Amino acid sequence: MDLLVDSSTIHLNQTQTTLFGVYDEVSKYNVQLNIAERLWAAWYLWMQNDTLATGILSFVMHEAVYYGRSLPWIIIGMIPYFDKWKIQNLKTPSLKEQAHCALVVLFSHFTVELPQIWFFHPVATWCGMDYGVPFPPMWKMAYQICIFFVMEDTWHYFAHRSLHYGPLYKAIHKLHHYYSAPFGLTAEYASPIEVMILGLGTIGSPAIWVYFTNDLHLFTMYAWIFLRLIQAVDAHSGYDFPWSLRHFLPFWAGADHHDLHHEKFIGNYASSFRWWDKILDTEATQEARKRRREKKLAEFQAKKKQ
């Protein structure tokens, strides 16, 4: 792997046996790199095993973001001031329920997701993903992440809607609907099969992109997963604030969109955006359900007149 412009000058010796020792050596010969890029390069050089380095980094990042983002929602749930913005304000999860959910999800992460993570690096590099330094420019990362949001949302809509088909719902998806009033930690409270099916949208979208374009960096992938995790936890938070993103981006789904899905058990299948539910008439709002009832009644009356 060509990590550094001057990698040929790096010779690890007795004094560079720690990560920060390697970091100092990298910094000495690669002053053009920023701090994050030097740390990234030092990590891979220090590990001496790219698959292991990516695996550990991926798992630690996932756990830190998932539980780190869930923690503020736990705190908010303990402060009565925020109750006025709780969507289903008559259903508040207890700390015991949240602790149980956190442990079940953590067990799933170690037994289901962690084994799969070790395959990520070889598969990603086979598809053409870069993981050297320097990192790609911000503008490139931004437009690629926007594309991944659209791709994942499309996969999520159709896969999620399929999981609401009778036998599939009972065998796979029912567990995720155990909580009719979701909270942040429930974002990944699901069966292993569902985790793999819906996770294909998150991992598969960048994999398809890089396979056909040969233009994607692992750091962009991590930025995408970071934002997708934030979105997933926030969508399950159970709170809709005046400053929530959906009030500024009308096509953004947000917590109110997914909370209604958990409450009604049907409709609002998309993850990030509202357009698929709008186009395919699967919105779960009261107005949409009323419109569908009136349409069916009009069709029934028209048939009676024939």
pLDDT per residue as tens digits for the range 201-239: 999 999 999 999 999 999 999 999 999 999 999 999 999
pLDDT at 136: 97
**CB neighbourhood size of 89 (10 A):** 13
Instruction: Judge whether residue 110 has pLDDT over 80.
Output: yes
pLDDT in tens, 243-255: 999 999 999 999 9
DSSP per-residue codes, 14-71: GGG-SHHHHHHHHHHH-TTS-HHHHHHHHHHHHH--HHHHHHHHHHHHHHHHHHHHHH
pLDDT in tens, 53-75: 999 999 999 999 999 999 999 99
pLDDT in tens, 162-192: 999 999 999 999 999 999 999 999 999 999 9
- Residues 198, 204: Cα–Cα separation, whole Å: 10
Residue 141 backbone zone (phi > 0: left; psi -120 to 50: alpha; other: beta):
alpha
- Residues 235, 268: Cα–Cα separation, whole Å: 12
Instruction: Judge whether residue 1 has pLDDT over 60.
Output: no
pLDDT at 8: 40
DSSP symbol at 107: H
DSSP per-residue codes, 67-92: HHHHHHHHHHHT-GGGGGGBTTTT--
Instruction: Judge whether residue 7 has pLDDT over 80.
Output: no
Give 216-219 contacts, CB < 8 A, sequence gap 24+: 216/128, 216/129, 216/130, 216/144, 217/129, 217/130, 217/131, 217/135, 217/136, 217/141, 218/54, 218/124, 218/129, 218/130, 218/131, 219/40, 219/131, 219/135, 219/136, 219/141
pTM of structure? 0.92
Dihedral of alpha carbons 214, 217, 218, 223, sign: negative
Query: Which tokens hold the place of 91?
Result: 């259903």
